Amino acid sequence: MNADDPVIPVDPQDPAPRRRRNQQDGARGGKPFKFGQKGDVREVAVNVPPDEPPPWQFGDTHAVVGQRTPRVDAVAKVTGKARYAYDMNLPGMVWAAFVRCPHARAKVTAVDYAEALKIPGVLVAKDYGSKEIRYALQHFGIVAAETHAACLEAVRAVKATFEVLPHAARMDQALAPDAPRVHAERPNKTGDDFRPEAVAAFEKAAQGCDAVVSGIATTEVQTHMCLEPHGVTARFEAPDRATVWASTQATFGARGEVARVLKVPEANVTVIAHYMGGGFGSKFSLGVAGAAACTLSKELGRPVKLMLERRAEHAQGGNRPSSVQEMSLGVKKDGTLAAYKVSKTGTGGIGGGAGAANPMIYDFGEVAEADFEVATNAGAAAAMRAPRHPQGSFALETIMNLAAEAIGMDPLELRRKNDKHPIRARQYVEGAKRFGWDKRTPSGSGKGPIKKGMGVASSLWYALGGRGAQVLCRIRKDGSVEIRNGAQDIGVGTKTILAMVAAEELGIPLSRVTPFLGDTNDPIGPASGGSTTAPTIMPAARTAAFMAGRSLREIVAKAWNCGADDLALGGGKVLHLKDGSKSMTFEKACALMPGDEIAELGKRTGNYAAYEGQTGGVHFAEVEVDTEDGTISVTRYLALQDAGTILNPLTAESQVNGAIVQGVSYALFEERILDRQLGQQVNADMEMYKIAGPKDMPRAEVILTEVVNGANNVGVAGLGEGPSVPVAAAIAGAVHNALGFPVWSLPMTPDRVLAAIAAKEKGK
Amino acid sequence: MGGHAEEGKGSVSRRGFLKSAGVAAAATSLIDDAKKAMEPVGPAPAAAVRGETEIRFKLNGKETVAKVPPSMTLLELLRERLDMTGTKQVCDRGACGACTVHLDGRTVNSCLLLAMDATGRDVTTVEGLAVGDRLHPVQQGFVEEDAMQCGFCTPGMVMSCAALLAKNPAPTRAECAEGISGNICRCGTYLNIFRAMDRASALAKGGK
């Protein structure tokens, strides 16, 4: 710790963390620990629960943690040995597929499966699911066959007739006065209108403002498009057991669903997800494919594989809802934000969950908010990386830029002035310097047809994990170590940091530790949602390793006739803290074990009073806009991102890189296009549903802001959501700076850019 | 769709059409095609050609004999008959590159190649790239630079990168982007892949 880092005693009147669920109820009698970041270190009292090691503090150094470490399963992934649910080939396995309706709203009136059943190898062709069709590509039947090819042939041989009904596939259609109802029991548009007193307060505050800026931002539906589709390979094992290889973000949630579907005890079900090919929020449940495969496996007495086909993955695999956000923001000349009004409307298809996180981050003064949701005849939305946030951030940061322009203030200054988060406060300054923000030119001042611009946007996330994980640490007599949890690594590197935390605590090299994830026969772990996986599992892992190491120290203490507390683990050795002449290698210590192994279960306890309950980030983007053809290139990008204790900078940076790439994609390309007449998605594939490719990449830099948040004994925060929040907004800000006015619609495709330019010229 | 049951078959000709026709024509075709593709009803397809034929080809250096129906793709043969599941099935129509293998040293989408057309050819899959425990420089570069997340696009990426490196021992970032422009990654690993290729290039130069 540097001498210039002041230690600020914690103020009992000002509990910094805003999120109190899961937290210790104060820490009377607790020991003080140093948490925080460079330039702002605070002493926080913590009652360290029994069996837990003291939390890592600001200034602690680590041997394994913090090293750039290739992921432990990297070789399996680059050699093709990693086996996913889609890759399971089991003896006697049957393939299954759904039969789908092409119409957006219809009744299935008759189905003839006779021809399908005549195809060699076809075992099942029958009704499955509702006959009331509410979105295009909803299934109503299922087939199963000996081969994938026979399965698809059978799907095509099914003859069905439909009563086609008028649909409301698109939001404008669902809002029309004579629109058919998507859900019979309620109107298409539901939600919460403005509270009159909030509007009155907004209006009063707006009168005292020097400028009130307004605008309507729109975003389109994007689909998750996971490369491995939703699905499972399921094996019912008569009379009452099952093993399911699932492409899932929630092994334990899936286990419960399998048990319910098959009516067997949960303890008899094993769900395996050693590898999974992308989820992004869309794979929390067993899903229609999983449930159907389990059911069929029980009926046929054979293993069944059912993975959604690509076009169905778009329709049925989930999506991020669209949004229309109508905003007014009042600002004073000195940059004080005083009044904000926002009405949000969006569609999540036949599912819910539309809505945009807006406002957030900045202090807006009086806020009036309305939030509506429109049901449409389209596939149901699902959580998608930072649900509600990228769309909210895009709208919010766009109106912020407009407000800055109205009072002649630098947009970065306006943000700094209205954002009190201590981590972002530092990131604004560091980022501006690093990115060369001082070289930003006035909006719209470029002369040629290709215009350059810079933008900035802010990130936050709320979760520092909580109760809900247990981790088993096993030290064997031969000196090898296992660390086990049953949750999944969805591709972010969880397995690697699990091993790193254990190696750190036991003072041994990483190569000595084998981590296990993705099998529900191991101890309980969380679903990978809300960026909680790492902060929920890792403290339990550290506790488990601490307890196992303590047991080992006790064994050695007996041999040396001293106390276990006189001994420490480090550098691959057991060390005597008081007698420097005494030391023993980790292996020799393990050989002293009376039995074959030490096994300890570490439990995740509630969070401590953290330095900050929310994580922070600030992102900068630079673009070139071609005003002749409307194309946008993101040329440079800088993300400053806090993720608490950085366990593995290599994989942590990868996650932020991923958020940047997905954000570029959301900002510039992604759009589910539904045909107005048919209500079908016309780009339900991977050619016309355009996502960012290798040629669309900016030069990107990631700076991980080191923050020891002290929320638990490890202090790691997740990186799934935070860096995903502001990317499109930062790019939109850069486009605004380039053009001199905002493009209000995502994705900022050439047609939208050219339309914005044309509208501006017409208005002149 | 002739005697073929798989969806992918129809798109072979469609992709050819998309390449040769203008964007406007392609868009029209897309809508027609979407209508057709979504229709599960209508007359049953002409009976698929049944029966199987024996083919011989070299797979990862080993002479391989397999019996295949005429409509089977190389991808299906690898994944479903030979249990070589490193090569991934994602879009099933040559749009994503996840099924990339080398055919006589050149990259092909194995979902668009009939297994019978591999007869007498030399096929290398991601499983055959390393020599024993010694990773190919591209694989080593991917490991060291963390050019993967979920890993589902990774085998195809690795195969495209390996083919690129064989042709161009020191590709620039732009050449690398061109080389993998047929491969789609959803997690967003492109930035790491560029770094991995720099690393691979250096490793290859140093004689591994």
Confidence of residue A369 (pLDDT cuts 50, 70, 90): very high
The answer on B148 and B113 residing in a single domain is: no
The answer on B142 and B121 residing in a single domain is: no
Q: Which residues make up the CATH 3.90.1170.50 domain(s) of chain A?
A: 85-166+230-307
The domain A465-603: what is its CATH number?
3.30.365.10
Chain A residues whose CB is inside 8 A of the B86 CB are: 79-81
> Taking CA atoms, what residue in B is nearest to A701?
B191
Chain A residues whose CB is inside 8 A of the B7 CB are: 152, 309
Confidence of residue A27 (pLDDT cuts 50, 70, 90): low
Chain CA centroid to CA B107, Å:
7
Q: Tell me: pLDDT of B24 over 90.
A: no
Give phi and psi for A695, each to the nearest 5: -80, -5
**DSSP class per residue in A448-493:** SSEEEEEEEEEEEE-----S--EEEEEEETTS-EEEE-SS---SSS
The answer on B104 and B85 residing in a single domain is: yes
Chain A residues whose CB is inside 8 A of the B89 CB are: 86
What three-state secondary structure class fits A258? helix
Q: How far is CA B78 from CA A120, A257, A277, B187, in A?
A: 22, 32, 19, 25
The residue-averaged pLDDT of B80-95 equals 96
A567: left (phi over 0), alpha (psi -120 to 50) or beta: beta
- Which pLDDT score, from 0 to 100, does residue A599 have? 98
Q: What percent of chain A has pLDDT over 90?
A: 94
Residues comprising chain B, all counted? 208
- Which pLDDT score, from 0 to 100, does residue B27 have? 41
Q: How far is CA A497 from CA A55, A57, A504, in A?
A: 17, 18, 10
Is residue B30 a part of any domain in this protein?
A: no
Q: What is the pLDDT of residues A91-136, one digit of tens each?
A: 999 999 999 999 999 999 999 999 999 999 999 999 999 999 999 9
CB atoms near residue A610 (< 10 Å):
26
Q: Which residues of A410-435 are buried (b: 16+ CB within 10 A; e: fewer)?
A: bbbebbbebbebbbbebbbeebbeeb
Q: Tell me: pLDDT of A226 over 50.
A: yes
What three-state secondary structure class fits A118? helix
- Which pLDDT score, from 0 to 100, does residue A352 have? 85
Q: What percent of chain A has pLDDT over 70?
A: 96
For chain A positions 137-166, those within 8 Å of chain B (CB to CB) are 137, 147-150, 152-153, 155-162
Distance CA A275, CA A253 (A): 17
**DSSP class per residue in A637-702:** EEEEEE-BS-S-HHHHHHHHHHHHHHHHHHHHT----B-TTT--BTT-SSSSS----GGGPPEEEE
Subunit contact A99:B146, Cβ cutoff 8 A: no
For chain A positions 482-501, those within 8 Å of chain B (CB to CB) are 490-493
Confidence of residue A194 (pLDDT cuts 50, 70, 90): very high
The domain A85-166+230-307: what is its CATH number?
3.90.1170.50
Mutate to test the interface with A, among B18, B31, B41, B136 (most CBs of A within 10 A): B41
Domain termination site, one of B77, B108, B128: B128
The answer on B124 and B57 residing in a single domain is: yes
Chain B residues whose CB is inside 8 A of the A153 CB are: 5, 45, 48
Strands A450-461, A139-145: pairing kind: unpaired
Subunit contact B44:A490, Cβ cutoff 8 A: no
Strands A615-626, B53-59: pairing kind: unpaired
Confidence of residue B92 (pLDDT cuts 50, 70, 90): confident
Q: Which amino acid is at A634?
A: V
The answer on B59 and B116 residing in a single domain is: yes
Whether the ω angle into residue A723 lies within 30 degrees of 0, i.e. cis, is no
Confidence of residue A532 (pLDDT cuts 50, 70, 90): very high
Distance CA A188, CA A605 (A): 43
Please identify, in words, the CATH class of the domain defined by A1-47+421-463+607-764.
alpha beta
For chain A positions 555-584, those within 8 Å of chain B (CB to CB) are none
Domain termination site, one of B70, B103, B128: B128
Domain termination site, one of B128, B148, B166: B128
What three-state secondary structure class fits A232? strand
* Contact between B141 and B148 (Cβ < 8 Å): no
SS (H, E, C) A50-78: CCCCCCCCCCCCCCCCCCCCCCCCHHHHH
Subunit contact B45:A101, Cβ cutoff 8 A: no
Confidence of residue B207 (pLDDT cuts 50, 70, 90): low
Distance CA A453, CA A624 (A): 7
> Taking CA atoms, what residue in B is nearest to A230?
B90
Confidence of residue B45 (pLDDT cuts 50, 70, 90): very low
The residue-averaged pLDDT of B19-24 equals 38
The answer on B147 and B107 residing in a single domain is: no
- Which pLDDT score, from 0 to 100, does residue B7 have? 34
Confidence of residue A610 (pLDDT cuts 50, 70, 90): confident
Is residue B142 a part of any domain in this protein?
A: yes
- DSSP summary character for residue A346: E
Q: Per the structure block, which two tokens stand in for A248?
A: 């899932």
Rg of the Cα atoms in chain A: 28
The answer on B144 and B166 residing in a single domain is: yes
Mutate to test the interface with A, among B28, B68, B187, B193 (most CBs of A within 10 A): B187
Chain A residues whose CB is inside 8 A of the B191 CB are: 657, 660-661, 697, 700
Chain B residues whose CB is inside 8 A of the A156 CB are: 1, 5, 40, 44-45
* Contact between A599 and A474 (Cβ < 8 Å): yes
The CATH topology of domain A184-225+322-412 is Aldehyde Oxidoreductase; domain 4 (3.30.365)
* Contact between A481 and A541 (Cβ < 8 Å): no
Chain B residues whose CB is inside 8 A of the A99 CB are: 40
Subunit contact B30:A74, Cβ cutoff 8 A: no
CATH number of the domain residue B154 falls in: 1.10.150.120
Distance CA A458, CA A448 (A): 30
Residue among B45, B127, B146 whose CB faces A79 most closely: B127
Subunit contact B44:A157, Cβ cutoff 8 A: yes
| B165 at interface of A, judged by CB pairs closer than 8 A | no
Subunit contact B126:A310, Cβ cutoff 8 A: no
Which range marks the domain in which residue B77 is found?
A: 53-128
* Contact between A385 and A355 (Cβ < 8 Å): no
Residue among A86, A149, A277 whose CB faces B72 most closely: A149
Distance CA A651, CA A494 (A): 9
Chain B residues whose CB is inside 8 A of the A492 CB are: 149
- Which pLDDT score, from 0 to 100, does residue A609 have? 85
| A306 at interface of B, judged by CB pairs closer than 8 A | no
Angle, helix A727-739 to helix A750-763, in steps of 10 degrees: 40
Residue among B45, B89, B93 whose CB faces A685 most closely: B93
**Shortest alpha-carbon distance between residue B208 and chain A (Å):** 17
Q: Which residues make up the CATH 3.30.365.10 domain(s) of chain A?
A: 1-47+421-463+607-764, 184-225+322-412, 465-603
Q: Tell me: pLDDT of A14 over 70.
A: no
Q: Tell me: pLDDT of A637 over 80.
A: yes
- Which pLDDT score, from 0 to 100, does residue B86 have? 98
Give the count of Cβ contacts less than 8 A between chain A and B: 230
Subunit contact B148:A77, Cβ cutoff 8 A: yes
Chain A residues whose CB is inside 8 A of the B187 CB are: 278, 491, 658, 661-662
* Contact between A605 and A469 (Cβ < 8 Å): no
Confidence of residue B11 (pLDDT cuts 50, 70, 90): very low
Distance CA A730, CA A719 (A): 18
CB atoms near residue A47 (< 10 Å):
16
Subunit contact A687:B139, Cβ cutoff 8 A: no
Distance CA A316, CA A329 (A): 38
Q: Tell me: pLDDT of B148 over 70.
A: yes
Is residue B29 a part of any domain in this protein?
A: no
The residue-averaged pLDDT of A14-19 equals 37
Out of A29-43, A426-440, A616-630, A730-744, least confident range: A29-43
Dihedral of CA atoms B196, B201, B205, B208 in degrees, nearest 10, equals 30
Q: Per the structure block, which two tokens stand in for A33?
A: 């620990």
The answer on B119 and B57 residing in a single domain is: yes
The residue-averaged pLDDT of B142-164 equals 98
Is residue B46 a part of any domain in this protein?
A: no
Is residue B190 a part of any domain in this protein?
A: yes
Q: How far is CA A256 from CA A284, A303, A363, A520, A605, in A?
A: 12, 19, 42, 10, 23
* Contact between A564 and A598 (Cβ < 8 Å): no
Subunit contact A77:B154, Cβ cutoff 8 A: yes
A326: left (phi over 0), alpha (psi -120 to 50) or beta: beta
The residue-averaged pLDDT of B10-37 equals 40
Give phi and psi for A159, each to the nearest 5: -105, 125
Q: Tell me: pLDDT of B28 over 50.
A: no
Q: Tell me: pLDDT of B61 over 60.
A: yes
Chain A residues whose CB is inside 8 A of the B194 CB are: 694, 697
The answer on B181 and B122 residing in a single domain is: no
Chain A residues whose CB is inside 8 A of the B79 CB are: 87, 89
For chain A positions 93-132, those within 8 Å of chain B (CB to CB) are 99-102, 115-116, 119-120
Q: What is the pLDDT of residues B122-137, one digit of tens each?
A: 999 999 999 999 999 9
Mutate to test the interface with B, among A78, A94, A159 (most CBs of B within 10 A): A78
Q: Per the structure block, which two tokens stand in for A641?
A: 């991102």
The residues, any chain, with a CB within 8 Å of residue A533's CB and separated by 6 or more, are A465, A487, A490, A492, A494, A525, A526, A718, A720
* Contact between A321 and A381 (Cβ < 8 Å): yes
**Shortest alpha-carbon distance between residue A152 and chain B (Å):** 6
Chain A residues whose CB is inside 8 A of the B93 CB are: 310, 685-687
CATH number of the domain residue B84 falls in: 3.10.20.30
| A684 at interface of B, judged by CB pairs closer than 8 A | yes
Subunit contact B135:A75, Cβ cutoff 8 A: yes
Is residue B82 a part of any domain in this protein?
A: yes
Chain B residues whose CB is inside 8 A of the A659 CB are: 188
Is residue B23 a part of any domain in this protein?
A: no
The answer on B69 and B106 residing in a single domain is: yes
* Segments of A490-589 assigned E as strands: 513-516, 567-570, 573-576, 583-585
**Shortest alpha-carbon distance between residue A312 and chain B (Å):** 10
In terms of Cα–Cα distance, which of A540, A710, A506 is closest to A610?
A: A710
> Domains in chain B: how many in total?
2
Confidence of residue B25 (pLDDT cuts 50, 70, 90): very low
Residues comprising chain A, all counted? 764
Residue among A102, A492, A675 whose CB faces B39 most closely: A102
Flag whether the ipTM exceeds 0.90: yes
Subunit contact A228:B93, Cβ cutoff 8 A: no
Strands A139-145, A106-112: pairing kind: unpaired
In terms of Cα–Cα distance, which of A121, A127, A185 is closest to A152?
A: A121
Subunit contact A152:B7, Cβ cutoff 8 A: yes
Q: What is the pLDDT of residues A674-721, one digit of tens each?
A: 999 999 999 999 999 999 999 999 999 999 998 999 999 999 999 999
Q: Per the structure block, which two tokens stand in for A688?
A: 């016309």
- Which pLDDT score, from 0 to 100, does residue B36 have? 44
For chain B positions 23-82, those within 8 Å of chain A (CB to CB) are 30-31, 34-35, 37-42, 44-45, 48, 50, 69, 71-72, 76, 79-80
Is residue B191 a part of any domain in this protein?
A: yes
In terms of Cα–Cα distance, which of A515, A489, A492, A493 is closest to A503?
A: A515
Q: Tell me: pLDDT of A12 over 70.
A: no
